[in-house]
Amino acid sequence: MARDSFHREIDYLRISVTDKCDLGCVYCVPGGKPGASDPQDTMDFDEAVRVVSAAVALGVRKVRITGGEPLLRPDIIDLVRAFSGAGVSDLSLTTNGLRLDELAVPLRDAGLRRLNISLDSMDPDRYRRITGGGDLSRALGGIRAAEEAGLDPVKINMVPMRGVNGDEIPLFARMTLTRPVHIRFIERMPAGGKSHWDPSGSITSREARQMVESSVGPLIKRRFRGRGPSRNYHFEGAPGIVGFISAVSHSFCYSCNRLRVTSRGRLRPCLFSNTEVDVLGPMRKGASDAEIVRLFELAIATKPEGNYLLEPESADIGPMSEIGG
């Protein structure tokens, strides 16, 4: 198992397989839908598999496929199958859900274990505004398809924003009373640079929890397992889970066990640091598998102790679709 300079075990890789997306969510790409990279600048099938294989060689066992919208990749089923066959024991994927009606069963059959689905409103018009034109009925259909395919648990990610969708926090939490879904409230992060970042528009995890308990009922804290960022609760007798991810108000860097690789093949030791290690360039110049592993070791060695999101000068990263957050 690889360890960084602060003795954290690194066993989790988030790999972006595209920066294309069919939506333009306001917290991900402020200002509109993202522009996609030239296909020549994006990892192809074999390159993505080599990256995952190098990570597995270092002890990574958990891989999450991200984007952009990963289901836009025409070879996504083959990628899932290849990643699963490379020795990944816990393979998951984050999606907006719009293509799950047709892809949920093939993804499961290819080796996918779990799904996170982004859903920020249950109101069709509001959903359309937040996502830059998304169709809520397709997203809800995708969630049903994932549940029916047995991709368990289905985790629904909601980013609550003051004056936008914050009033729906209790509505989302109530879903867990009758369904075995995980609802995760994620604090809005400063994507897109300083000009788009207004902390006053964010709802902290503490506020969200208070809204849930005052409107729905008391939450029971669940025992913390693993090293993930979500702090989980449930209602008495409820089959679902309510989670809170405090990315800004309460750093979880001390237990961070992950690396990211962008769709352009750049290893990113920290989501909120502009430090990157190029992997795609060396691969295309003939780097061996051992050399790719050494690039991973370099990225792990440069992983910072923590982020500095609460410092104004640090709120200057690009759109999440480009990073693969």
Residue pair 165/120 in contact by the 8 Å Cβ criterion: yes
Give the per-residue pLDDT at 317: 64
- 72: confidence class by pLDDT, cuts 50, 70, 90: very high
Q: Is 177 left (phi over 0), alpha (psi -120 to 50) or beta?
A: alpha
Give the per-residue pLDDT at 324: 72
Give the per-residue pLDDT at 33: 56
Assess whether pLDDT exceeds 90 at residue 307.
no
**Count of other CB atoms within 10 angstroms of residue 1:** 10
The amino acid that residue 178 corresponds to is T
**List of residues 6+ apart from 246 with CB closer than 8 A:** 187, 204, 205, 206, 229, 231, 252
Q: Which two tokens stand for residue 270?
A: 């920290």
Assess whether pLDDT exceeds 60 at residue 312.
no
Please, what sign has the CA dihedral across residues 300, 325, 49, 285?
negative
The model carries a pTM of: 0.93
Q: What is the DSSP string of 101-116?
A: HHHHHHHHHHT--EEE
Give the per-residue pLDDT at 28: 85
Q: What angle do CA 307, 92, 193 make, to 5 degrees?
A: 35
Q: What is the DSSP string of 152-166?
A: SSEEEEE--BTTTTG
CA gap 39, 37 in Å, rounded = 6
Structural domain range at position 229? 2-323
Assess whether pLDDT exceeds 60 at residue 143.
yes
Give the per-residue pLDDT at 201: 87
- Phi/psi of residue 116, each to 5°? -110, 130
Please, what sign has the CA dihedral across residues 299, 305, 307, 313?
negative
Assess whether pLDDT exceeds 60 at residue 34.
no
Assess whether pLDDT exceeds 70 at residue 193.
no
* Closest to 98 in 3D by CA, of 127, 65, 63: 127
**182 DSSP 8-state letter:** E
Chain CA centroid to CA 49, Å: 19
Provide the domain count of the chain.
Answer: 1
Tokens 């957050």, residue?
325
CATH number where 200 lies: 3.20.20.70
- 250: confidence class by pLDDT, cuts 50, 70, 90: confident
Give the per-residue pLDDT at 120: 98
Residue pair 244/155 in contact by the 8 Å Cβ criterion: no
pLDDT, mean of residues 130-158:
96
